[in-house]
């Protein structure tokens, strides 16, 4: 099973076309027989969770089987043509889910994954959750300090805040030089470890998911550059 994540940035004054695409793209995605799961997502500012949306930047996540180890991004042609005609920037990542736990819409959409593997290269992390209404204030009060610490953490490469529903259904996709670097931040940085503990003890989430991916390819650009290059 493989996943494709496309972060799309619309030209100035055309962000409204990105908003419109959130409705229009559902039709070719519904009709696709190649995809087992897909999500149309908005993006927050500042590269992580953020209450303020980035109206020019949007995302599409798709999941598809990989028979015969075929490693190609799967995006319906109508969608890629839409982006090309409007002159959008596109950063496309092809990803192999290798470790993780949790569900999305009640399903293990990336398959049944082990909690750990022996993979040791650059790693991509998807952390997503549906936040309980009663816990929104608690959650958002912890966001900015953690995001600032992550941006300065050793081994951190880049991140993008994505979400299905403002404030409530949120996710962060981050890239690290290694699993060890990510673990140093996640488990040994006191503030982040405290937040992780609170999410469980106080039951902030009604649903959550944590998945690690091996990056297969990274192509295109975002804000004029390729955010993450895979060394061959």
Structure tokens, 86: 């409007």
The average pLDDT across 19-43 equals 94
Residue 55: give its domain's CATH number.
3.30.70.100
Give how many domains the chain has, as a whole number: 1
Residue 171 in domain: yes
Question: pLDDT grade, residue 10 (50/70/90)?
Answer: very high
Question: pLDDT grade, residue 145 (50/70/90)?
Answer: low
Structure tokens, 141: 């009060």
Decide which of 70 and 64 is more confident. 64
Residue 229 in domain: no
Q: Which residues pair with 39 in a beta bridge?
A: 61
Q: Is the pLDDT of residue 195 over 70?
A: no
Q: Is 216 exposed, middle or buried (0-12, 13-18, 19+ CB in 10 A)?
A: middle
> Angle of helix 143-151 relative to helix 190-201, nearest 10 degrees?
140
Domain span at 133: 2-220
- Range with the lowest mean pLDDT among 39-48, 81-90, 175-184? 39-48
Residue 225 in domain: no
Instruction: Assess contact for 75 and 88: CB atoms under 8 A.
Output: no
- How far apart (Å, rounded) are the C-alpha atoms in residues 115 and 179? 13
Q: Is the pLDDT of residue 189 over 70?
A: no
């Amino acid at each position: 099973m493989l996943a494709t994540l496309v972060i799309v940035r619309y030209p100035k004054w055309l962000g409204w076309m990105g908003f419109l695409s959130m409705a229009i793209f559902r039709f070719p995605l519904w009709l696709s027989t190649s995809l087992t799961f897909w999500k149309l997502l908005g993006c927050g500012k500042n590269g992580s969770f953020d209450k303020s949306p980035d109206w020019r930047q949007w995302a599409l996540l798709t999941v598809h089987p990989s028979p015969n180890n075929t490693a190609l991004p799967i995006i319906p042609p109508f969608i890629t043509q839409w982006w090309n005609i409007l002159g959008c920037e596109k950063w496309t990542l092809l990803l192999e889910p290798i470790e993780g736990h949790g569900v999305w819409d009640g399903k293990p959409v990336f398959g049944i994954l082990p909690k750990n593997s022996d993979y040791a290269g650059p790693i991509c992390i998807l952390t997503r959750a549906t936040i309980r209404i009663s816990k929104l204030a608690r959650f958002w009060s912890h966001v900015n300090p953690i995001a600032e610490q992550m941006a300065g953490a050793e081994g951190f490469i880049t991140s993008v805040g994505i979400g299905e529903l403002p404030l409530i259904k949120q996710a962060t996709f981050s890239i690290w030089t290694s699993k060890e670097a990510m673990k140093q931040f996640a488990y040994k940085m006191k503030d982040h470890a405290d937040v992780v503990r609170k999410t469980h003890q106080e039951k902030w989430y009604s649903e959550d998911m944590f998945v690690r991916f091996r990056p297969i390819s990274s192509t295109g650009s975002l804000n004029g550059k390729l955010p993450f290059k895979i060394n061959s």
